[in-house]
A = this chain, B = another copy of it.
């Protein structure tokens, strides 16, 4: 298991333990984790802090050149919002735990020059599946449905 994807999964589990939606994310630059985050819809009543957004917010203000050699890890395929944020900051690579539960605008993001690596990790998938079974309304709210 990729240690950075594992760190994103750890974030997802931290969110789950706090009653939240189990999606986690880390930002890696030059082989080091600069920021970590997880979905904050339940915990902070947030509509914008998806895992990737929380991760970037926790990373704080870094230089444009740093984003441009970063890799963003997420346990789930980034939605339109999080994909747009990747494009805004010119993050060149995203590692995605799984995209079966939900698949963001991956083709569009690739067409804008971003490399997307889909791991198809069973633990990422299982975390979401069991959460959605118990909390379908929360999940739908999180993706605007």
Contact of A88 among B49, B67, B144 (CB under 8 A): B144
- A82 in the interface (beta carbon within 8 A): yes
Interface range on chain A (Cβ under 8 Å from partner): 20 to 34
Contacts from A to B (Cβ < 8 Å): 41, 45-49, 53, 56-57, 59-62, 64, 67, 79-85, 87-90, 105, 108, 140-141, 143-145
Q: Are A64 and B140 in contact (CB under 8 A)?
A: yes
- Tell me how many chains of this kind the complex includes: 2
Residues of B close to A82: CB separation below 8 A: 84
The distance in angstroms between the C-alpha atoms of A45 and B89, with both chains bound, is 16
The distance in angstroms between the C-alpha atoms of A8 and B46, with both chains bound, is 21
The distance in angstroms between the C-alpha atoms of A81 and B105, with both chains bound, is 13
